[in-house]
Chains A and B, each alone.
Chain A
């Protein structure tokens, strides 16, 4: 069978399975947001008929919390297939719109964090390996172990206290709340781009700081191992420039085992965004996830679950396709699969 067809089928199956499981689990949550909402409306407009209010809202939600499981399931997945995520009472918005507004922001923070994290950790890890046993190596190892033991949300709060709170130099550059400065509209303007980056810096940084140690130490270990390989010694004797040996021989081979962890970290970061975006009042996917759980907003929860699943599935898909290019010993595409 064509590999791409098979792999796409697998991805779709994963998507369906996770969505079904999430649907089943969210239905078990206590609390009825619809009933609460109807009560609120009736309180404000006592003359309205509760039944009509209720059926109106249920129609927008696509699922009736009181309907039997199989009916609700069919109704919800039917709507999903036609591209409708439903309506969120909590956000008072259509979920397609809400997702389009929030997902890019969260992905932006994640991308910033991932590139920063891998850039810094891989480079410093390799330098530590080259200078094994030096003061730099020892102090950086210690630093790595300490920062790894700090949870990311604690790092986030510390960043707010020490960088964001004092009315000092940093505060104006790295604000501690919201996605954008006041009065800046999205568009290809310098104000927008720099504003977006500055607002995303601290959330991304709290992730980078706490994940740095583990990754840098893995890179250090891998590099030390590769440095001991015969092919590095042969390359040195062949008179290759040190730079080429560092990048093409040591770096390339040491990075291979970390490639998978790069893509797996996306799932972890999406989970982390629930708390991190709360701390930094950053209205991305995680911020709304927290509110959805608090107010039992099942359609909102479902939409976010789907977004997370889609991101992870796409990331693994990319990993599968590209791993063979990175490591020729692993076959990609038609020849085999790498996970």
Chain B
């Protein structure tokens, strides 16, 4: 905390200016009548300034919890613990979990902002879109005129007609327009980090594509760092520089997008890639992952993936694996990462670059 030089996940030294937010031993637990539900388990993650990090995982793997944790916004009875450090552009590192209510209120949206899963329900139905922008600017004591000018610019950057959209009520906009208006609302206070939780989930494929390209433009223009959380692996592969794969409430593999796509080292990641629907692959070669995702109250001992993993042995049942370095930019939480490629071959040739095929 006190030093700008911290140890990153793989043990290398990074200067703090490269890291924008750092999560250590981050956990979220819910006390339930049938036991403690651990919906985010011991997550270590560094997000680097200016990158787009894609977080993928199946439904109920803890992705949304990870997103909420970065803003210390875990919903009520959930308890968030661990160490989350935010490194502002200028100034001292901020211990997110140690902030007062007022400091946290300012951190959210001004420094770290979020786009929610349901754009459809993220707007107050009885208030115009403009009202949402104005009240946000006022709550953070930003200059209203300057802020609204920025809102206009953001909306036109997102290919919306600012006048029309601002005067509209949420129900008068289409799903894609509402999603883009929500993105503009998230960025209106000029945050450094934008966390997006399934921002394209309810949209059709064309709209998903166009939002992706708009996001890239937005990132360049406003110098944003983005965390893009989704279950849609091909979609994020197109956008992200780096990817993190979640399984059973923890991160199992992280690395650059190329490395993950071509040389995934975790059996789960490989199975996930194999189960991705692809028009080029014959139907007979489509595979699903056997078994089902574990219950958060009762996660298997040892490696949480062992009941479904073809490579599992006594060691996997007995102890939980640590991260192993595949390369300096690629870590995996698996004892048998060297054998994974052989044991679970990809069912189609992986494309050499994500732009070219896999995602199309």
Contact = CB atoms under 8 A, between A and B. Distances in A.
Given A248-B127, A253-B125, A328-B126, A237 B135 contact: no
Interface string B101-133: 000011011000010111001111111100000
Interface in A94-118: none
Contacts of A329: 125, 169, 171
Contacts of A328: 125-126, 128, 169, 171
A252 interface: yes
A234 B105 CA distance: 12
Contact of A239 (B117, B139, B169): B139
Contacts, number: 62
A239 B124 contact: no
A325 B220 CA distance: 41
A132 B123 CA distance: 24
Interface in B62-110: 71, 73, 75, 105-106, 108-109
A100 to B, nearest CB: 40
B114 A237 contact: yes
B136 A240 contact: yes
A239 B171 contact: no
A230 B136 contact: no
B126 A256 contact: yes
Nearest to A252: B126
A231 B123 contact: yes
A237 to B, nearest CB: 5
Contact of A249 (B105, B121, B124, B139): B124
A249 B108 CA distance: 19
A253 B123 CA distance: 12
Nearest to B122: A234
Interface string A247-262: 0110011001000000
Nearest to A239: B105
Interface residues of A, number: 21
Nearest to B168: A328
A248 B122 CA distance: 15
Assign chain B's interface to a size class: 20 to 34
A32 interface: no
Nearest to A236: B73
Contacts of B308: none
Contact of B124 (A231, A237, A326): A231
A59 interface: no
Nearest to B182: A234
A229 B106 CA distance: 23
Contacts of A248: 124, 127, 135
B140 interface: yes
Interface string A212-253: 000000000000000001110111011111001000110011
B171 A237 contact: no
Interface string B134-149: 0110011000000000
A235 B116 CA distance: 12
Nearest to B124: A231
A244 B135 contact: yes
Contacts of B108: 237-239
Contact of A238 (B126, B127, B136): B136
A79 interface: no
Contacts of B71: 237
Interface in A288-332: 326-329
Given A239-B140, A240-B135, A230 B122 contact: yes
A234 B75 CA distance: 12
24 contacts: A230-B118, A230-B122, A231-B121, A234-B116, A234-B122, A237-B114, A238-B108, A238-B135, A238-B139, A239-B108, A239-B136, A240-B139, A244-B135, A244-B139, A248-B135, A249-B124, A253-B126, A326-B126, A327-B126, A328-B125, A328-B126, A328-B128, A328-B171, A329-B169
Going nearest first, the 9 A-B pairs with the smallest beta carbon separation are A230-B121, A239-B105, A328-B169, A234-B122, A240-B139, A230-B118, A231-B124, A239-B139, A238-B136
Interface of A: 229-231, 233-235, 237-241, 244, 248-249, 252-253, 256, 326-329
